[in-house]
Amino acid sequence: MTSPSLQNKVFLLLLSAVTLAFLAVLWPFYEAVFWGMALAILFTPLHQRLLKRMPSRRNLAALTTLTLCLVVVILPLALIGVSLAQEAVHIYDRLRSGELDMGAYFQQVVAAMPAWASGVLDRLGLSSVAALQQKVSSAALQASQLIATRALNIGQNTFQFLVSFGIMLYLLFFLLRDGPRLGARIRHAIPLDEDHKRKLSQKFTTVVRATVKGNIVVAASQGLLGGFIFAVVGIQGPVLWGVLMAFLSLLPAVGAGLIWAPVAIYFFATGALWQAITLTAFGIFVIGLVDNMLRPVLVGKDTKMPDYVVLISTLGGMALFGLSGFVIGPVIAALFIATWDLFAPSEIPQTVPARAARPVPKLPEVER
């Protein structure tokens, strides 16, 4: 007769094997699964309100929430993506043909620099304007080529994109409809203390909502404002530059300034004063203050993570998981901190008692 201990080991081995196999099956569509879960968490409060008004129509409430999600989130992103691809391809064609010469623009800025700034370039080894001009042109060409290539790849992989998109919507519908029951079954199956499971579940939900609702809204606001002011001052491709500013808004302090500040410097160097003053004032007092105004309101202190942890986990998550790492990275970091907080002391004593002083032995006297 097989012993219970051996049966438990075999069962745990079988459970681990089938779990890993199931995750391997889902891995090709992990982004669709993750974003279905993230959108379900984000729109669950709205779904609960609709469900109170139609308690006997769970399918209709989930379908209504799914439709609102399509109109509010997915459709605008699709339109922005199409415009971004068109502008990226157009700018790449202009750079390749030489109509748009970033190196020449940089040379104009260098020529207008004062003597002390030229001296700084000399000390940094950037005195060769021709070589630096070539580097700037090459970097701009490679960046636009990368964006254009990504856009073409999306077009070529339309079938795979549509399949992933359909899986996300299909999963989102059932997560909205059956989410509470599925969550209860998962929590019941996890072999942890109920208080620990509750804290981890709350932390996961809070971080996903705060990251998606807060950071994406802030990024979208900065990108929209940046694209608007670029269109006002006459910069071509405002959608492309707006998306880049939205992406760089993940970086604290500087963020979108990495895009609009060099353009403002170029305007100052070439004598376009009203464009330079307008762009600088708008960048500092409008775009720069959006993060300080919106992020505390939308995110608050729910995540309870330092800014440097959010930054590093965001960049690391995007390096591992692509664009979805924008949310996956902070979620992993938050769960890491929350898990350790369950076992670490909540408060660290301010003072450490000093060790008792040991008596110093008296040395024997040396006879002379």
pLDDT along the chain (368 residues), means of 10: 76 89 89 87 88 86 89 79 71 68 62 62 57 56 57 59 85 88 82 80 79 78 88 83 80 74 83 87 85 66 69 81 80 81 60 50 49
Residue 97 lies in a domain: yes
Q: Does 236 share its domain with 285?
A: yes
Give the pLDDT of residue 20. 92
- The DSSP-derived string for 284-341 is IIIIHHHHHHHHHHHTTTSS---HHHHHHHHHHHHHHHGGGHHHHHHHHHHHHHHHHH
Q: Does 39 share its domain with 161?
A: yes
Q: Does 38 share its domain with 126?
A: yes
Q: 106: buried, middle or exposed (CB in 10 Å: 19+, 13-18, 0-12)?
A: buried
Q: Does 56 share its domain with 119?
A: yes
- Collect all residues with Cβ–Cβ distance below 8 Å to 222 and sequence separation of at least 6: 245, 246, 249, 255, 256, 287, 290, 291
Residue 221 lies in a domain: yes
CA angle 309, 313, 316 (to 5 degrees): 140
Q: Does 285 share its domain with 338?
A: yes
Q: Are the C-beta atoms of residues 137 and 129 closer than 8 Å to each other?
A: no
Give the pLDDT of residue 318. 79
Give the pLDDT of residue 147. 56
Give the pLDDT of residue 242. 85
Residue 48 lies in a domain: yes
Distance CA 239, CA 246 (A): 10
Q: Does 199 share its domain with 338?
A: yes
Written as one letter, the residue type at 222 is Q
Beta strands in 104-197 (DSSP E): none
Q: Final residue of a domain: which of 130, 159, 189?
A: 189
Q: Are the C-beta atoms of residues 32 and 167 closer than 8 Å to each other?
A: yes
Distance CA 67, CA 61 (A): 10
Distance CA 123, CA 131 (A): 16
Distance CA 35, CA 322 (A): 13
Residue 269 lies in a domain: yes
Q: Does 231 share its domain with 256?
A: yes
Q: Does 273 share its domain with 143?
A: no
Q: Could you give the number of structural domains in the chain?
A: 2
* CA neighbor of 237 nearest in space, from 147, 309, 134: 147
* CA neighbor of 232 nearest in space, from 295, 294, 287: 287
Count the alpha carbons within 13 Å of 51 in the hemisphere toward its beta carbon. Answer: 15
Distance CA 68, CA 242 (A): 25
Q: Does 149 share its domain with 226?
A: no
Q: Final residue of a domain: which of 170, 189, 208?
A: 189
Residue 365 lies in a domain: no
pTM score above 0.75: no
Q: Does 39 share its domain with 149?
A: yes
Residue 349 lies in a domain: no
- CA distances (Å), origin 121, targets 113, 115, 131, 368: 10, 10, 13, 74
Q: Does 44 share its domain with 90?
A: yes
Q: Does 61 share its domain with 113?
A: yes
Give the pLDDT of residue 112. 61
Q: What is the CA radius of gyration of the chain?
A: 28
Residue 263 lies in a domain: yes
Residue 358 lies in a domain: no
DSSP H or E segment with residue 345? none
Q: Are the C-beta atoms of residues 240 and 87 closer than 8 Å to each other?
A: yes
Give the pLDDT of residue 368. 43
Domain that holds residue 242: 193-343
